[in-house]
Amino acid sequence: MNNESGRIIIWPVYIDSTRTQAEGRRIPKETAVSSPKLREISRAAGKLGLNPLVEKDKSYPKLWWEKSGRVIVDGKMTKREIILRISKMINGFRQ
C-alpha cells in the first residue's frame, strides 16, 4: 500500500481532548488524549505496524494558522479504528 490512496492522514486534532468536535476532534473526549504530540502519534502508529510518515509543516485546514503537522499511515483499518487505537496506545504510553 505505498500509493497515496491506500494511506490515511491523521491530524493531532482528531484525538485531542482539548478540542471540540467542531474544531475537528473525531473521537469521544474520554477516549481522546490531551494535546497529543506528533512523535507520540508516530510512535503509536509504528507499534501498530502502520508505517508512519511525519509531515511537521502542515496545518489542519480548519486551524490553518497552527502548524500542527500530521502523520500519514497505511490504511490497514478504517480511519476511525486507527484513530481510536492510536489514542488508546498514547494513553498507555503516558501512564
**Residue 88 burial by Cβ neighbours in a 10 Å radius (0-12, 13-18, 19+):** middle
The pLDDT, as a whole number, for residue 4 is 55
In this predicted structure, the answer to whether residue 34 has a pLDDT above a threshold of 70 is: yes
The pLDDT, as a whole number, for residue 1 is 36
The fold of 4-94 is Phenylalanyl-tRNA Synthetase; Chain B, domain 1 (3.30.56)
pTM over 0.75, yes/no: yes
User: What's the mean pLDDT in 25-50?
Assistant: 97
**Spatial distance between the Cα atoms of 52 and 68, rounded to a whole number of angstroms:** 16
Over the chain, what is the mean pLDDT? Answer: 94
In this predicted structure, the answer to whether residue 9 has a pLDDT above a threshold of 80 is: yes
Contact 1, 75 (CB under 8 A): yes
Domain boundaries, given as residue ranges, for the chain: 4-94
- 31 or 1: whose pLDDT is higher? 31
